Amino acid sequence: MTAVPHSARPSAPATPDEAGRAIRATLADRRPGASICPTDAARQIAAARGETAPDAWRRHLAAVRRAAGDLARRGEIIILRKGRAVDPDAMRGVIRLRLPGVEAETTEET
């Protein structure tokens, strides 16, 4: 029987607190008004746990999306879909996360 390295073994999905901390930390690392993809926070969790499999972050994505909904309901973040804020209870599909109170930067020339 071949031993599987500890870092390659699947771990339990992120806890709600862990996912919330990862979202906050990832947003804090970005410039004001920038948004993140939930996968950014999920990848941060996998890296912090030392999970080296290329797709290790995927097991944390559902927890990150749930935590994003909780944070949005408390007003700590805004969930965006197609660049517009959406109700956390109605979020689906591709979303991005942003801190409130800072308008997103635009790249359009005026």
Reduced 3-state DSSP string for the chain: CCCCCHHHCCCCCCCHHHHHHHHHHHHHCCCCCCEECHHHHHHHHHHHCCCCCCCCCHHHHHHHHHHHHHHHHCCCCEEEECCEECCHHHCCCCCEEECCCCCCCCCCCC
Q: Is the pLDDT of residue 81 over 60?
A: yes
Residue 110 is predicted with a pLDDT of: 35
Mean pLDDT on 69-89? 97
pLDDT digits (tens, 9 = 90+) for 4-59: 455 455 689 999 999 999 999 999 999 999 999 999 999 999 999 999 999 999 99
d(CA 58, CA 55): 6
Residue-range domains of the chain with CATH: 13-98 (1.10.10.10)
Residue 104 is predicted with a pLDDT of: 54
d(CA 36, CA 39): 8
d(CA 89, CA 32): 25
